[in-house]
A and B are shown apart, each in its own frame.
Chain A
Amino acid sequence: MPYNPTLVQPMKDEVTRLGVKELTSVTEVDAALGDPRGTTFVFVNSVCGCAAGAARPALAKALQHPVLPNEMYTVFAGQDVDAVARARSYCSEFQPSSPSFVLFRDGEVVHFIHRHQVEGQSPERIAANLTAAFDKYCTISV
């Protein structure tokens, strides 16, 4: 059963206010992830305070970086269940994990940060992991 929308809305707002577009339906996910061109970032948000409590501030720090993916999306685990399942289908070789961060380049997963890589980490350390991936995969090679 999904969470009470009132409970999760502040956690969603914490991400969407950063300019990350929320996907709440299968149609929206397919429209966002169906075109594999360029770099696309997906944050699987979640209620869990142990990990998501650090993941969201980490994302905020990482998105201040000068190099960013072309597109940035978020889905909310345990709330927008169909959208999350669809988003996970685009990286099905990876086990479900929330919170988690996924970076696609031309439709291929090039960087995946699992929950276990978030647990107990500082937002600064998680952000450094993210920005290193942005630097590695989101710059155009000439």
Chain B
Amino acid sequence: MSFVPHQNRHELHGITVVVTTPARLFVGRLDTADACAVTLKDAGYHDDSDTRQEYLARTAKYGVKRLSAVIEIPTDSVQGIERLHQAQE
């Protein structure tokens, strides 16, 4: 049987996504998402120094400022997940 990378992973596995929660906006590469948590790799987040839209625009232009190698976000706090590319369209 041949090796298939990323088999049985979330459809957005490896994709840079924006995860919206009431408290924060996170951006990073989605690793896993299940009933417990959404896990992002090489992730950054909006820190209230500007608006969420400004943060997203800056991130789309200059890239994700990595603040943590891995961030786990409780699934019950997630309001939405979308691709960064689409969040800017």
A residues within 8 A CB of B16?
115-116, 119
Query: In the complex the two chains form, is A116's CB within 8 Å of B14's CB?
Result: no
- CB contacts under 8 Å to B, within A22-60, are 48-51
B residues within 8 A CB of A121?
85
Interface of A is mostly: loop
Q: A51-B14, A96-B66 are in contact. List 19 more A-B contacts (CB 8 A).
A: A49-B5, A50-B15, A94-B62, A94-B63, A95-B62, A95-B63, A95-B64, A97-B63, A97-B64, A112-B61, A115-B16, A116-B60, A116-B63, A116-B64, A117-B85, A119-B14, A119-B85, A120-B15, A120-B85
Q: How many A-B residue pairs have CB under 8 A?
A: 42
A residues within 8 A CB of B46?
none
In angstroms, Cα B82 to Cα A119, docked, is: 13
A residues within 8 A CB of B62?
93-95
Query: In the complex the two chains form, is B63's CB within 8 Å of A48's CB?
Result: no
Decide yes or no: A119 and B83 within 8 Å by CB, A95-B62, A95-B64, A95-B65 being known contacts. yes
B interface residues, how many (CB within 8 angstroms): 16
A114 touches B (CB below 8 Å): yes
B residues within 8 A CB of A96?
63, 66
Instruction: List A residues at the B interface (Cβ < 8 Å).
Output: 48-51, 93-97, 112, 114-117, 119-121
In angstroms, Cα B62 to Cα A112, docked, is: 8
B residues within 8 A CB of A119?
14-16, 83, 85
Decide yes or no: A120 and B5 within 8 Å by CB, A94-B62, A95-B62, A95-B65 being known contacts. no
In angstroms, Cα B17 to Cα A120, docked, is: 12
B residues within 8 A CB of A115?
16
A residues within 8 A CB of B5?
49
**Can you pick out 28 interface pairs between chain A and chain B where the beta carbons lie within 8 Å of each other?**
A49-B6, A50-B6, A50-B13, A50-B14, A50-B15, A93-B62, A94-B63, A95-B62, A95-B64, A95-B65, A95-B66, A96-B63, A97-B64, A112-B61, A114-B60, A114-B63, A115-B16, A116-B15, A116-B16, A116-B60, A116-B63, A116-B83, A117-B85, A119-B15, A119-B85, A120-B83, A120-B85, A121-B85
